[in-house]
Structures are given as C-alpha cells and as structure tokens.
Amino acid sequence: MLGNLVSMLGIGLLASGCGSSGSNVASAPGDQGLGGGRSMGAGGSASGDVDGGGGLTGGKTICTAELLDRIKDAACLVWSSDLEVAPSLLDFVVDTSGSMLALAPQSNLSKWAVTRDALAAAIDDILPDDTAVGVLFYPNQATFPNQLADDPNSDPLLISECVNVSAMVGVAPIGAQGSAQRAALALGLANVQPAGGMPTDDAYVYALSNGVMPAIKSYAGYMPYIVLVTDGQPTILQGCKGTGDTLHPVDWHPIVQHIAEAAVAPNVVKTFIIGSPGSNAPSANGDDGRSWLSLAARTGLTPRSVGCSDGGPNYCHFDLSQTTDFAAGLNASLKEIMSTIPCSFNMPSAPANCVLDASRLNVIYEQAYSNGQSKETWLIGQSEPACGSDGDADGWYIDSNADKIVLCPTTCQTVQADQLARLEIISGCNTITPPVN
C-alpha cells in the first residue's frame, strides 16, 4: 500500500545544495535563510504575516512561477530522484480486559474476537512486508485488587502482576507470508485470554520501553508508532495500583503524559488511539471518556482531522464507541491509520562528490483539482517545533536523526486527499521563507 501511495501522489524530487565534498555553498543574492517558518494549506490565496525571525506563523503561501524559478535558480546543482517512503515500525498495545468479552455491536462475536480478526487481517492484507510489527495485549491475565489507587499505603507491584509481559511479541519486520514473525503474531493473537482490569499506563510504558525503543536501535530508518486500542477507562495505575473494577476508574493523566514524552526528540514515537465500544464511559473525574482519548491522540501527534475537538462530537482519535458495526469500523480505522503513515520520506542521497545540505530545503506542493486541469503550487513552510506545540500545525520537519523528511498530520492529509498531487523537495543555497512578495 505504501508503494501504491507514492505512485498515486506522483511524488518526485528535485534536490541540490551540494558541491564538491567539504566545499562551501554560495548564497543567491536577495534570498533569505529559513527562520523556522510554518505555513501551508490547500486552496485559497496567500495570507499570513512574517514575524521577523520566526517565519510565517499561520496561513498559506502561493508559490508563483517566479518564486519557484528563484528557488531553483538558487540551487547549486539540481538532479532528479525517486523519493523513498520510510518503512514503518508499529507496536500495538491492545486492551484484552474482561470487558472485551461483551458482544460487539451488530455482531454475535465478542469485542475481542472482532479486534483479533481485524488485527490479523491488517497484518496479512494491509501491511507491507518490510513493516516492523509487535504487540502487547493487556492484561491478558486475571488481575487482583491492589487496594485503592489513591491509598497512600498501596505499594506498587511488579508489572507482571497485572500485565502478561511474557506473552508480548517483540517488534520485527513481518516479512513474507510464512515468516517467523507472522507466525509469532498469529500465535499471540490466538492465545489471548481476555480477563481482568485495565492497566493501560503500565502496558503503554512497557511496550514503549521494551518493544519500541529496542526496535528503533535495531531497525534504523524506520518511523516508529504505537497503536493503542482500548474499550474503556483505565482501572489500574502504573505499578499495578488499583482495584481493576470499572466502578473505580483511575486517573488518565499519567498515560497522556507518557504519550507526550514519547512524542518528543530524540526518538519521536507517535501514538494512534482507537476507542472501542465502551470507551465513552465516564472517566475518573466524571467526564466522557472520549475526551481524554482525543487528547491522547493530539498529544501523540495523530489527530484525525483539522478542527477536531476533545469535547466532541468530532473527536481527534478513532472513536468507535457509537458505531453500529464495530467490525467494519475497526477495519476502516486500521486502514486509515496505515494510509496516514506514508508521509515520512527518507532523505535523498546526493550524487557522487556532492553534499546535501539538509538545513536548506524547500518543500513544494503542486495541488491538482479534481478535473486534473487547474492547479496551484504552494510553498510549504518548515514547522519548528515539529508540527507545532499541539502537533496539529501545517508544514514539515526533519526528524531527529536528520535522515527523514516528515509531513505534519494536517499537511499529510491535504496531500493524500489530492490524488494528482506532486511534491518537490528542493535544496538550494538558501531556503526562502514564505511569503515572498
């Protein structure tokens, strides 16, 4: 699917900014260096103001033919190349608490059976062979009360007391049909025993620390993600503290905090959130449970749409709490997640004896309308910090290892919705900060 997306977008590359290895790059007269500007949107006319050193703080910039010529003229050398989509690293953290044994809407199967089948189908039919995949089911065993979570005398327990960590499937490329990793994932799905409470924070932190982080070191160049699937409010705090009873939901803030910490450099791990039926049950403070799941998606840099709201009804996570057909909704959500991921691209390699200046890039989006005739070209601003403080800004950024160009979620959605889109990435002697009069 990832390769198909690249073909669909017609993504190409124009890159330069190199000379003989070790040489300095000359500046083009009148051009400006990028000051961390943020811009980009689809449609409309140029708008927004430049704030001195900070660049464009909002709005859209038409990239006129004259401006495009200036950018290309400033390049020291131009060549064409394919823009390679970076492979993805996915670790699923899946709620298998006792509540998952309830029947799914419009089905004679349990919520767990529907989730199991959807995950198996995604692994078999959607994910490319080079995708690295792992999974932790939680709790995947019975849990026992460890006093009330707010009891100061309640001591933390080992995570193995409330999460079956021994059944975790470590992250590795799934490979071709019949591979050992595919077999391990299938066996893990088949052996799940839904039971117990919801130690969501323990499970997330363990998957991040023992699944994702080691895999990042093993599979350089992969873009890491966690997909958290849950049908309700956490009932056990980190340290296996809590009753596990749905009548005593616990504070969700620690989970959101850990998701936020995962989404910052040096290893940016984004987190998708899927709320299964039941996830709208009141949280510990009495609010609709979907509010914190929506916040978690925004904090994890994966909001579904521009203008989504933690207060609903357009939540920022994949809200399946009100779906009439859970199986169809979950399958569609997993497909949407897979289609969102390919907005990460490997930094291109320069020709022999040249050095690519990764700090001087211009990203150009050539927009095509539905009739395939009229089009506009946009200069996309670099987003600093990456995708803004709320993770929902337009733009692009270079990842912490300086080997990938990543489109922010809003920009990614805009480009992917345009089936005749074209991206050009141009590195010249200077990056021009939009807007340019």
Given a cut of 50, is residue 187 above it in pLDDT? yes
pLDDT-based confidence at 395, cuts 50/70/90?
A: confident
Cα-trace Rg, the chain: 23
pLDDT tens digits along 55-93: 333 334 677 777 777 766 665 444 444 455 678 899 999
CA atoms within 13 A on the CB side of 421: 22
Report whether pLDDT(29) > 90.
Answer: no
Which whole number is the average pLDDT over 117-125? 92
Distance CA 411, CA 161 (A): 43
52-56, 65-69, 134-138, 332-336: range with highest mean pLDDT: 134-138
Cis omega (within 30 of 0) for bond into 385 = yes
Domains in the chain and their CATH numbers?
A: 2-81+345-427 (no CATH), 88-340 (3.40.50.410)
Q: How confident is the model at residue 152 (pLDDT cuts 50, 70, 90)?
A: low
Q: Which has the higher per-residue pLDDT, 114 or 365?
A: 114
Average pLDDT, the chain: 76
Give the model's pLDDT for residue 255: 97
Q: Is the pLDDT of residue 203 over 50?
A: yes
What's the pLDDT score for residue 182? 96
pLDDT given for residue 91 in this prediction? 97
Alpha helices in 300-349 (DSSP H): 326-340
CA 162, 111, 230, 280 torsion-angle sign: negative
- State the pLDDT at residue 401: 66
Q: What is the pLDDT of residue 287?
A: 83
49 has a pLDDT exceeding 80: no
Select the more confidently predicted residue: 434 or 298: 298
**Percent of the chain topping pLDDT 70:** 69
Q: How far is CA 187 from CA 66, 116, 123, 194, 390, in A?
A: 59, 11, 13, 15, 38
Tokens describing residue 220: 């350089």
**Across 68-77, 195-204, 387-396, which has the greatest mean pLDDT?**
195-204
Please determine, for residue 367, whether its predicted confidence score (pLDDT) is greater than 90.
no
Report the percent of the chain where pLDDT is more than 90: 41
User: Measured in Å, how far apart are the chain's first and last C-alpha atoms?
Assistant: 40
Residue 189 has pLDDT above 90, yes or no: yes
Comparing CA positions, the residue from 6, 5, 43 lying closest to residue 414 is 43
Residue 432 above 80 pLDDT?
no
- Give the range among 4-8, 94-98, 286-290, 335-339 with minimum mean pLDDT: 4-8
CA distance linking residue 182 with residue 80, whole number of Å: 37
The single-letter DSSP state of residue 211 is: I
Q: How is residue 67 written in tokens?
A: 């401006």
